[in-house]
Chains A and B, each alone.
Chain A
Amino acid sequence: MTAGRSGAATLGAGEAAAARPGGRGGPAWRPRRLGVRARRRWRQAAIYLVLGLCAVVYIFPFLLGVGTAFKTNADASAHPLNPIPQHWVLSAFSELGQQDFLRWLANSVVVAVFVTAGRLLFDSMAGYALARLRFRGRGAVFSAVIAVMAVPGVVLLIPTFLVLKELNLFNTYPGLVFPLLTDAAGVFIMRQFFLTIHPSIEEAAKIDGAGIFRTYWSVVLPMARPALLTLMILSFQGSWNNFSTILVAHESPSLDTLTTGVGRLVSGQLGAATQYPLELAAAMAMTVPVAIVFFVFQKYIMRTGEGAVKELRPFGGPGLGRRREA
Chain B
Amino acid sequence: MTVLAASRLTARFSARRREAAAGWLFSAPVLVLLVVFLVAPIVMAAWVSLSDWTGIGSPFSSGVHSVGLRNYQALLTQPGLPQQQLGESLRNNVYYVILVVPLQTALALGLALFVSRKRLTGRGFFRTAYYFPSITSSVAVSIIFLYIFGTTGVVNALIGFLGVHGPNWFDDPSGVLQLLYSGLGVTQAPAALANHGFLGLPWWQWLAGPSVAMIAIIALAIWTTSGTFMLIFLPAIYAIPTDLEEAAIVDGAGPWQRFRRVTLPMLRPALFLVLTLGLIGTWQVFDQIYLMSQGNPAGTTLTPAFLAYQESFGNQQWGQGAAIAFILFGIIVVLTILQRLAMRAKGSAT
Residues of A within 8 A of B147 (CB): 64-65, 68, 76, 80, 276, 279-280
B130 within 8 A of A: yes
Are B118 and A182 within 8 A (Cβ)? no
Are B136 and A287 within 8 A (Cβ)? yes
In the complex, the number of residue pairs spanning A and B with C-beta atoms less than 8 Å apart equals: 380
Chain A interface residue number, banded: 35 or more
Are B113 and A319 within 8 A (Cβ)? no
Instruction: Mark out the residues of chain A between 178 and 198 whose CB falls within 8 Å of any chain B CB in the assembled complex.
Output: 178-179, 181-182, 184, 187
Chain B residue, CB-CB nearest to A8: B255
Are A266 and B273 within 8 A (Cβ)? no
Residues of B within 8 A of A326 (CB): 225, 280-281, 284-285
- Of B60, B109, B231, the residue contacting A17 (CB under 8 A) is B109
Given A158-B321, A283-B139, A319-B336: A212 touches B255 (CB 8 Å cut-off):
no
Are B133 and A80 within 8 A (Cβ)? no
A91 within 8 A of B: no
Shortest Cβ gap from A42 to chain B (Å): 15
Q: Mark B103-134, 1 if CB is under 8 A from A, else 0.
A: 00000011101111111100001111111110
- Of B24, B140, B276, B326, the residue contacting A286 (CB under 8 A) is B140
Are A308 and B23 within 8 A (Cβ)? no
B177 within 8 A of A: no
- Of A19, A212, A286, A308, the residue contacting B256 (CB under 8 A) is A19
In the bound complex, how far is the Cα of B194 from the Cα of A159, in angstroms?
Answer: 38
In the bound complex, how far is the Cα of B172 from the Cα of A309, in angstroms?
Answer: 40
- Of B245, B270, B283, the residue contacting A13 (CB under 8 A) is B245
Are A286 and B20 within 8 A (Cβ)? no
In the bound complex, how far is the Cα of B308 from the Cα of A158, in angstroms?
Answer: 8
Are A19 and B255 within 8 A (Cβ)? yes
In the bound complex, how far is the Cα of B127 from the Cα of A306, in angstroms?
Answer: 14
B65 within 8 A of A: no
In the bound complex, how far is the Cα of B140 from the Cα of A68, in angstroms?
Answer: 14
Shortest Cβ gap from A147 to chain B (Å): 10
Shortest Cβ gap from B310 to chain A (Å): 11
Chain B residue, CB-CB nearest to A248: B313
- Of A26, A148, A291, the residue contacting B38 (CB under 8 A) is A148
Shortest Cβ gap from B233 to chain A (Å): 8
Shortest Cβ gap from B338 to chain A (Å): 11
Chain A residue, CB-CB nearest to B124: A298
A21 within 8 A of B: yes
Are A266 and B291 within 8 A (Cβ)? yes
Given A14-B113, A263-B139, A272-B146: A154 touches B286 (CB 8 Å cut-off):
yes
Residues of A within 8 A of B273 (CB): 308-309, 312, 317-318, 321
Are A266 and B257 within 8 A (Cβ)? no
Residues of A within 8 A of B60 (CB): 166
In the bound complex, how far is the Cα of B48 from the Cα of A142, in angstroms?
Answer: 29
Are A317 and B340 within 8 A (Cβ)? yes
In the bound complex, how far is the Cα of B325 from the Cα of A166, in angstroms?
Answer: 20
Shortest Cβ gap from B50 to chain A (Å): 13
Are B318 and A50 within 8 A (Cβ)? no
Q: Mark A289-326, 1 if CB is under 8 A from B, else 0.
A: 01100100010011011101110110001110101011
Instruction: Mark out the residues of chain A between 131 and 176 whose CB falls within 8 Å of any chain B CB in the assembled complex.
Output: 133-138, 141, 144-145, 148, 151-163, 165-167
In the bound complex, how far is the Cα of B117 from the Cα of A232, in angstroms?
Answer: 31
Chain B interface residue number, banded: 35 or more
Residues of A within 8 A of B33 (CB): 122, 178, 181-182
Q: Mark B319-350, 1 if CB is under 8 A from A, else 0.
A: 00110011011001000100010010000000
Are B232 and A122 within 8 A (Cβ)? no
Residues of B within 8 A of A219 (CB): none
Are B42 and A323 within 8 A (Cβ)? no
Given A80-B157, A158-B322, A287-B140: A17 touches B31 (CB 8 Å cut-off):
no
Given A17-B114, A182-B34, A212-B18: A25 touches B255 (CB 8 Å cut-off):
yes
Given A283-B140, A309-B273: A64 touches B148 (CB 8 Å cut-off):
yes
Are B20 and A134 within 8 A (Cβ)? yes
B262 within 8 A of A: yes
Residues of A within 8 A of B157 (CB): 80-81
Shortest Cβ gap from A177 to chain B (Å): 10
Q: Mark B197-231, 1 if CB is under 8 A from A, else 0.
A: 00000000000000000000000000101011011
Residues of A within 8 A of B153 (CB): 80
Shortest Cβ gap from A107 to chain B (Å): 14
Residues of A within 8 A of B125 (CB): 55
B189 within 8 A of A: no
Are A152 and B284 within 8 A (Cβ)? yes
Chain A residue, CB-CB nearest to B26: A129
- Of A162, A291, A318, the residue contacting B276 (CB under 8 A) is A318
Are A126 and B276 within 8 A (Cβ)? no
Q: Mark B39-56, 1 if CB is under 8 A from A, else 0.
A: 111101100100000000
Closest 7 CB pairs of A and B: A25-B254, A305-B231, A16-B259, A159-B41, A135-B23, A129-B26, A241-B137
9 CB-based A-B contacts, threshold 8 Å: A13-B237, A19-B254, A23-B256, A61-B148, A122-B33, A134-B16, A154-B325, A267-B290, A317-B276
Residues of A within 8 A of B (CB): 7-21, 23-28, 44, 47, 50-51, 54-55, 57-59, 61-62, 64-65, 68, 76-78, 80-81, 121-123, 125-126, 128-130, 133-138, 141, 144-145, 148, 151-163, 165-167, 178-179, 181-182, 184, 187, 212-213, 216, 237, 240-241, 243-244, 247-248, 258-259, 262-263, 266-267, 272-273, 276, 279-280, 282-284, 286-287, 290-291, 294, 298, 301-302, 304-306, 308-310, 312-313, 317-319, 321, 323, 325-326
Given contacts A11-B255, A259-B139, 12 further A-B contacts (CB under 8 A): A13-B262, A14-B117, A18-B110, A20-B256, A54-B126, A77-B150, A155-B328, A163-B44, A184-B34, A241-B137, A272-B146, A326-B280
